[in-house]
Amino acid sequence: MKFESAYVVNRNQREVSPKHFESAYVVLPIDNIDTDQIIPARFLKTTSKAGLGDQLFNDWRYDASGAPKPDFVLNQPDAVKAHVLVAGDNFGCGSSREHAPWALTQFGFRAVVSTSFADIFKQNALKNGLLPIVVPADLHAALIATPGAIVEIDLEKQTITLADGRSAEFPIDPFSKHCLLEGVDELGYILSQSAAIESYEQRRGI
Amino acid sequence: MKPRTIIEKIWDDHVVAEREGAPALLYVDLHLVHEVTSPQAFDGLRKRGLKVHRPDRTIATTDHSTPTTPRGLPIVDKIAAAQVETLEKNCRDFGIQCYGLSSDRQGIVHIIGPELGLTQPGMTLVCGDSHTATHGALGALAFGIGTSEVEHVLASQCLLQRPSKTFAVHVDGALKPGVTAKDIILALIAKIGIGGGTGHIIEYRGSAIRALSMEERMTVCNMSIEGGARAGLVAPDDKTFEYVAGRPFAPKDFDAAVAKWRTLPSDEGAVYDREVSIDAHALEPMITFGTNPGMGIPITAAVPDPSNVSDALERETLSKALRYMQLPAGKPLVGHPVDVVFIGSCTNSRISDLRAAAGVLKGRKVNPKVRVMVVPGSQQVKAQAQAEGLDKIFREAGADWRESGCSMCIAMNGDQLQPGEYSVSTSNRNFEGRQGKGGRTFLASPLTAAATAVTGVITDVRTLL
C-alpha cells in the first residue's frame, strides 16, 4: 500500500506513539461504558486539552467529598503502571467529546481493549495515539480473569499477546496504522490535497 | 447503473478524492460549531497559521454551557463564561457567523440548522456533537465528529472518511393515540441495543416514517447515535420541501433545488447491509428504566430481572444499572415518584413538542412536589410558543418557562438534578450522572413527561387523554 509522501509530518505535536510496548493492564468489566462516565460533561467547560486525566472516570473514582474511592480500580496502587485498560463491550458510546481519549491518554493509557468500540470514540482515540483494540470474546474473558498481568501490544504486527502466550491479531484501519507508525499528521495530509478540494468546489460551483 | 441508497448517493456526490488504502476525502457542505468542542480546534488553526477555508459554510451558536435564566444576566459560572467568550472571539477572528446569546437566532445547534433553512436535502453536514444526526430528517448525511475533525473541517472543509454500512429501518403502520416519534426511536434502540447500529448509517423508511411531520422525523433521527449509528436519515419528500421553503437560508432558485432533491431517494432495488422492521401500530409509549438508552420498555411493562439474563457481563451491567437507579426488578415503573420533569433538548424541544406538552398541561396543575422545567430549543421556538400562548399554559400550570439551550440534557449550565433525584426527561441520554452527579433519568416523550408532571409519578399519558 502506498501513500503520498509529500504531506507534512509533524512529529513534535504527537503524543507518545504506541507502536510496540509491554504493560500491565487494569480491568473495568462493564459493558457500554459511555463518555459521560469516562469524562463527565461538567468538565467540558475547559477551553484547553490539559488537566483532564485527573477527572478520568471522575464519578466512579471519587466520593462526594472528592476523596478517591479505594475499591475503584484506577485508585489501586498498581494502576499507575498500567498503560492498557480492558473494558466491556461497546466502549466509548455516547457523545463525540474528544475529551474522552484526551483524559485516557493523560492518565497514561495507550490502549483500550474491548470486544467492540463506538464509532466516534474509535476515531477520536486513533487521532490521539490511543489504540482501540478489538479482541475475540475468549481472549477478552481471559484478560478480565487475570487483572494485573502483562500484555504485549505490537501495532506493526497488529498483535496482542497475553502472558501465557495466547495471542490475537486485532483489526485497525490501515491508514490510521500508517499515521501512527510514521507520525503522519492527518491535517497536513488533507491540506496536501488542496488542489483537489478547490477543483471539487469549482466543479460544483460553490 | 447499480441501484443506490440515498446514503450512497450523497456520499458519491461529496467525494473529493480517493487514494488507494486511504479513506476518501469527503466534502462537508455545512459545518455547525458550538462552544464546547471547538476551542481546541481553533487553537490548532492558530498554531499552524491556518485560516478557516469556508467561513461561509460554517455557522456557530452557543448552547451547551449557556444559562437558561433570563438573557442579559451575566453567566455566573466563570469557566462557562470564558468558554462562551472564546467561541465568540474565535468567530470574530476567523470570520464566522455566530448566533450568540444576544441573537434571536440562538438555540441548540441541531434546532437552529433546520429552522433557519441551513440544513437541506442532499447535504453533508457535520458538527462536534453526536446528535448531529438530527439533520438527517431533511435527507442530509449528517454526523458527529471529534475536535480533531472539527479542526480538519475548519481548515479544509473536508473529512477523511470510510463509507459506513447501510441499515434500513422499516417502520410501518399507524401509531396509536399517545404514542409518538420518541416512542418509535426508543423502541428501536431497545430492540437493536445501544451498540446495534455501530458501523452503520440508518435510513428510516416505511409508512409510519412518511406519516411523521418534519419535526417528528428530527426526533427519530436525533437518537440514531443512541442506537450506535453515526448517522440516520429520511429520504426527502414533499413535506421536506415545504418545510425548507421560505426559511431564511433556503436556496434562492428553489424549484431547481427541489428538482435535484427529488433524485435523492433510494433507488428501487437498492441493497442495504442490514434491515430491521418495526410495527408502529403495536407500539406503546416507551420509557427507560436503566442507565443507557437501550434499557427501554413499554410503559406498562415490568423492569427486567437480571436473574433472567444468562450472559454474566450483561447480567452485571443490568444489575449495576438497577442499583444505580434504585429500582426493583420485575415491576412496572408506573406510579414511581419523580422530583423533576425536563421538557427540552435537541430531541424534543421544537414547537410541536411544546404544543404536545401544553396540550396535556392545559387546565391542569403540575404536582407541587415536582420541579418542571420547559426549555425551548431556540429563540425562534420560544417566540413562536409565546405567540401561541404556550408559555402562559406552562406558567399557569406551575412549570418553569426558560430561555433556550441544551440545559438539563447535559447539565453543563447549572440546570441539573441533585444526587438521588429522579427525573422524567424528554432528552436523549440516561447515563449515570448525565443530568447531574447522582441524578437518575427516565427518558420518555413530551406527552409522558407532561402527564408525569401533573401526577408527580410516572404516568401512562393515555390515562389523561
Q: Same domain, yes or no, for A56 and A148? A: yes
Q: Which pLDDT band holds residue A78 (cuts at 50, 70, 90)?
A: confident
- B47 min Cα distance to partner chain A (Å): 10
Domain assignment of residue A2, yes or no? no
* Inter-chain residue contact B158 with A48, CB threshold 8 Å: no
Give the residue from A90, A93, A173 with the most B CB atoms within 10 Å of its CB, the best one to mutate.
Answer: A93
B297 phi/psi in degrees, rounded to 5: -140, 155
Distances (CA, A) of A104 to A167, B83, B148: 24, 23, 16
Same domain, A76 and A112: yes
Same domain, A52 and A149: yes
**In this structure, are A33 and A109 located in the same domain?**
yes
Name the residue among B225, B317, B412 with its Cβ closest to that of A45.
B412
Q: What is the dihedral of CA A143, A146, A152, A153, to 10 degrees?
A: 30
Say whether A2 and B437 touch across the interface (CB within 8 A).
no
| Residues A164, A70 share a domain | yes
Residue of B nearest to A35 (CA): B431
pLDDT digits (tens, 9 = 90+) for B262-303: 999 999 999 999 999 999 999 999 999 999 999 999 999 999
DSSP state of A129: T
Query: Are B146 and A97 inside 8 Å of each other by CB?
Result: yes
Chain A residues in contact with B147 (beta carbon < 8 A): 98, 124
Q: DSSP states of B19-51 as a string?
A: -TTSPEEEE-SEEEE-TTTSHHHHHHHHHHTPP
Domain shared by A159 and A183, yes or no = no
b/e map B60-79, b = 16+ CB within 10 Å = bbbbbbbbbeeeeeebebee
In one-letter notation, the amino acid at residue A13 is Q
CB contact under 8 A, A1 and B20: yes
DSSP, collapsed to helix, strand or coil, labels residue A36 as helix
> Which ipTM value was assigned to this complex?
0.97
Taking contacts as CB-CB distances below 8 angstroms, the residues of chain A near B20 are 1-2
Within-domain flag for A110: yes
- List of domains in chain B: 6-160 (3.30.499.10), 165-282 (3.40.1060.10), 286-463 (3.30.499.10)
State the pLDDT at residue B1: 85
- Going by DSSP bridges, is the β-strand pair A159-162/B97-99 parallel, antiparallel, or unpaired? unpaired
Q: Alpha carbon of B210 to those of A93, A97, B172: distances in Å?
A: 29, 33, 9
Assess if residue A33 is contained within a domain. Answer: yes
Identify from B43, B76, B313 which residue to disrupt to test chain A contact, counting A C-beta atoms within 10 A and taking the largest count.
B313
Strand A150-154 to A159-162 pairing: antiparallel
The answer as to whether A3 is a domain residue is no
A96 → closest Cβ in B25, B129, B194: B129
* CB-closest option in A45, A178, A187 to B65: A45
Which residue of chain A has the CA closest to B295?
A32
Hey, is B372 helix, strand or coil? strand
Round to whole Å and give the CA distance between B57 and B53: 9
Amino acid at residue number B25:
L
Interface mutation vs chain B, best among A45, A58, A134, most B CBs within 10 Å: A45
Query: Does residue A6 belong to any structural domain of this protein?
Result: no
Pairing mode, strands B24-27 and B30-33: unpaired
Neighbours of B165 (CB within 10 A): 14
Chain A residues closer than 8 Å to B27 by CB = 197, 200-201
Count: domains in chain A: 2
Q: What is the DSSP letter of B388?
A: T
Chain B partners of A34 at a C-beta cutoff of 8 Å?
A: 292, 429, 431
Q: Is the pLDDT assigned to residue A7 strictly greater than 90? A: no
d(CA B193, CA B317): 13
Chain A residues whose beta carbon lies within 8 Å of the beta carbon of residue B252: none
Chain B CB contacts of A119 below 8 Å: 164, 198-199, 228, 230
Is residue B65 within 8 A of residue B196, CB to CB? The reply is: no
Total Cβ atoms within 10 A of residue B272: 20
Tell me the shortest Cα–Cα distance from B132 to chain A, in angstroms.
10
Do B407 and B345 form a contact (C-beta atoms < 8 A)? Answer: yes
Q: What is the model's pTM?
A: 0.96
Cα of B269 to nearest chain A Cα, Å: 28
Cβ-defined contact of A90 to B148 (cutoff 8 Å): no
Q: Which residues of B369-400 are buried (b: 16+ CB within 10 A; e: fewer)?
A: ebbbbbbbbbbbbbebbeeeebbebbeebbbe
Q: What helix, strand, coil percent values describe chain A, rounded to 5?
A: 40, 20, 40
Q: What is the 3-state secondary structure (H, E, C) of B104-148?
A: CCCECHHHHHHHCCCCCCCCEEEECCHHHHHHHHHCCEEEECCHH
**Dihedral of the CA atoms A16, B44, A118, A166 (nearest 10)?**
-10
Q: What is the CATH number of the domain that holds A29?
A: 3.20.19.10
Residues A159 and A197 in one domain: no
**Which residue from A42, A93, A201 is facing B194, i.e. has the nearest CB?**
A93
Question: Is residue A18 over pLDDT 80?
Answer: no
Q: How far is CA B27 from CA A190, A200, B73, B91, B96, in A?
A: 11, 8, 40, 21, 18
Distance of alpha carbon B262 from alpha carbon B6, whole angstroms: 11
Residue type, B369: K
Examine the domain organization and report whether A119 and A48 are in the same domain: yes
Per-residue pLDDT at A14: 33
Q: What residues in B contact A200, CB-CB < 8 Å?
A: 16-17, 27
Residue A101 sits at the vertex; the CA angle it makes with B347 and A27, to the nearest 5 degrees, is 105
Q: Is 50 exceeded by the pLDDT of residue A13?
A: no
In a domain, A123, yes or no: yes
Same domain, A159 and A196: no
Measured between CA atoms, the residue of chain B closest to residue A120 is B145
Task: Report the C-alpha gap between A185 and A182 in whole angstroms.
Answer: 9
Task: Compare all CA atoms of chain A with the CA of B45 and give the residue at the minimum distance.
Answer: A187
Query: Residue A29: inside a domain, yes or no?
Result: yes
Q: What parts of chain B have a pLDDT lower than 70? A: none
B332 phi and psi, to 5 degrees?
A: -70, 160
Which segments of B210-299 are extended strands (E)? 231-233, 274-279, 286-288, 296-298
pLDDT value for A17? 52
Inter-chain contacts counted by CB atoms under 8 A, chains A and B: 181
In a domain, A8, yes or no: no
Check whether residue A117 and residue A184 sit in a common domain.
no
pLDDT at residue B378, rounded to an integer: 98
For residue B316, give the chain A residue with the closest CA: A30
Are residues A49 and A107 both part of a single domain? yes
- Partner-chain contact A193 B25, CB within 8 Å: yes
Q: Give the pLDDT confidence of A60-69 residue by residue, as tens digits.
A: 999 999 999 9
**Choosing among A27, A98, A138, which should be mutated to test the B contact, i.e. which has the most B CBs within 10 A?**
A98
Q: A89: which chain B residues are within 8 Å (Cβ-Cβ)?
A: 195, 313
Same domain, A135 and A106: yes
Q: Note whether B425 and B449 are within 8 A (CB).
A: yes
Distance of CA B162 to the CA centre of its chain: 24
Phi and psi at B461, nearest 5°, equal -60, -25
| Alpha helices in B176-325, H assignment, sequence order | 181-192, 207-211, 214-222, 238-244, 254-261, 312-325
pLDDT exceeds 90 at position A5? no
> Which residue segment(s) compose the domain that A189 sits in?
173-206
